[in-house]
Structure 1
Amino acid sequence: MIVVTTPTGNIGRHVVRHRLAAGEALRLIVRDPSKLPHDVREQVEVVEGSHGDAAVVDRALRGADAVFWLCPPTPSPTPAAATVDFARPGAEAMRRHGVRHIVAATTLGRDTPWQERAGNATGSIQMVDLLRTTGAAVRGLALPAFMENALRQAPAIRQGKMFGPIAPDKKLPHTASRDTGAAAAGLLSDRSWSGQEDVPVLGPEELSYTDLAAIISEVTGREVRYERQTYEAYKEAAIGYGLTDAFAQGFVDMLRAKEEGMDNVAPRATAIIGATSFRQWVEEELQPALAD
């Protein structure tokens, strides 16, 4: 039995589809079961509630062999509250029920100079450290920025702009959620692995934000330019969206670490390289969203 968290999210839904196609028995933890596609709902066990709730995860993890774990992107007082504190009941339940394999979504940055000063990325790494204390075999899928982040800027893109604090010419890896889901599903399929380590999941190329804007322009026929913000302006905007000062600062610290090179040190030779290029992602996901 595999337990999947966030089964209606950008990554979790791909994990579910891959493992159902292989005939795997799944148990899904979901806040709102009505958001599950009808065909999925008919093939799985459902535990309703939050996987940050001790009673919910205790019920869901009974008899489980493996877990896909992802902390939801919920605004919290601090980065640690969003990751480590959220995952604590789950880690205790995994230990109590003897879960043997854990695949967890995390960030790049482990064993780098930025590990302890990368804000939200640091919190995510510490969350995987907590899961490691369960004694299970653990694979942290270490992720860069998601291609899907561009969807958040759809209103600005329609006006010909993209915004961010990272230098426009800084080349960085990006990954598609579908490829992360496929990577997680693959690890859950063949559970012959042991030990505890992080595995980077990277896209096929490194691109700057100027490159991303150029690709969007070429694919969509809309001229889009990347405009750099100050980190102070970025933080003010994040607070304006309802984030606490500490959580907004966590994003600032994470993006500074990325700009300084945190995401560039992951060795591609040992990473899982996703098949989806940014151009393909724009064609298949961003362009239709801009037309809505």
Structure 2
Amino acid sequence: MASGVLKRLIPALALSAAALTVQAGESITLASTTSTENSGLFGYILPIFEKASGIQVNVVALGTGQALDVGKRGDADALLVHDRAKEESFVAEGYGAYRKDVMYNDFVIVGPAADPAGVAGAKTADEAFAKIADSGSTFASRADRSGTHAAELRFWKAVGKDPEGKPWYKASGSGMGATLNMAAGVGAYTLSDRGSWANFKNRQDLKILFQGDPQLYNPYGVILINPAKHPHVKKAAAERFIDWITSDAGHQAIADFKLNGEQLFFPLKAK
């Protein structure tokens, strides 16, 4: 009898010890996008995860390209970014152990209310970008290798435009908040993720002029940095975060995050 009790107690004690280790201050570094930070999403969901797990998540908010560079150097344990093609290449090249879908939102084209390029009358996002280029209207680009910048470049390419060096094309080289500030200051168009726009206060004369095209779909993925390449990666703790953010509980937290009653991110079934 005593032996049976001990057999049941030992695993329970081991779990309790593991829980205490986590509560003692385990942390991971998550390199992510400025959109998840600027929107306020992390400020809402991470305390929920930290309370449930005892694991602190330290976010390094960068453009997706820079976040991937951080991952390649092994300076993060996990990534949460939004450039699907680059994410898949990152894993294929061995820098990431695997990638999972997390959520999506969409991009919007914002610009001055007067809309000199006639963007509001466009039928597609491609047409909206063509109108901006053809009219020579000022456009503020993040120009920072972020997921948003990559999406913008795809639109220019799709309509056969090369804005680099044009007097109407202004590069901020900064995150979404700074680029929106630039656009507001000079009356420019820009491409923004909806979450950052919803949380942006200095709108001045800017407004959403085009939205809703399926081309503006913006998915996010989470990646575990490959511990085979970087043995110091906190695999167990990072995987606990990945498991949570792709679980029903994580999805509920993402769906519950709203600004002025508007849901900004929508969970995706992990695959």
TM range (shorter): 0.3 to 0.5
The structure with the greater share of residues assigned to strand is 2
From the CA coordinates, give the structure whose radius of gyration is larger: 2
TM-score if structure 2 supplies the norm length? 0.34
